[in-house]
Structure 1
């Protein structure tokens, strides 16, 4: 809940920053914030407090806010106005599809890592091993996010400035 609230609160701030500076100023720091938070989430253990996890997730959502909104706006601004409804529909469809694929991939990685961990311990039926194996699987799954965030940082460095047609309008 706190991460979603932060996302909602910061979206207008990110929108104003996009209007003033364009997407690149938001994308690179956004991906770097995501990378930092995902790195820390990949080191969560069974001893990590719930508050730490909530704090890390909230920080992750700050990065997500500074990535998603500028990318969507920049993509739509590249279209002629008569294609905005089609562009919006396409973006929403791609978000749903990629979210489903990403979730399935992360769960597959987590499950495989969890099973691999359980095979490596002397007593896999020990109830304590269940939570430890789940944590180990989660740590491995966050590596997928780290890889994607690294790719995002690299691509954000090559982000083109908006062309005059795409240039955000300040009011």
Structure 2
């Protein structure tokens, strides 16, 4: 919250409750738009081998691997390697990529970003979204323009989603394509 408050020039605690709600809402909307969980958490995946050497894990980046088993047998760190940023785990035999054995592989790992390690563009996207939510709370959120003169003219925005274009641009490189 301190980063958001500093970015928005808020120096007191009068908006802390509202900001906490806005941050939660923005974080959830960004994760949904990215089609992935972004915050660090423990994960267990059970995967079936098709004979390939690599599995693409559901969550990334991978922070650490707790355990890996293949067809019920525990593997050691020498039996696999991880591309942490991509979330890909590759089976090794004699230090060479090799197919996973038939059956089930169970991988327990921690993946995602801690708050301190969150990429700057995701932090900025959250700040932009919170600023929008905060501003919208003080006015009609769909009012796009208003003219004053001989004839009053009001224009309302037609909402196309929960996040502004600037936020979508900031998170574009973190989006996971649907079906992956």
TM-score (norm 1): 0.26
TM-score (norm 2): 0.26
Which structure has the highest helix share of the two?
1
Which structure has the highest strand share of the two?
2
User: Relative contact order: is structure 1 or structure 2 higher (C-alpha 8 Å, sep ≥ 6)?
Assistant: 1
Q: Tell me which structure has the larger Cα radius of gyration.
A: 2
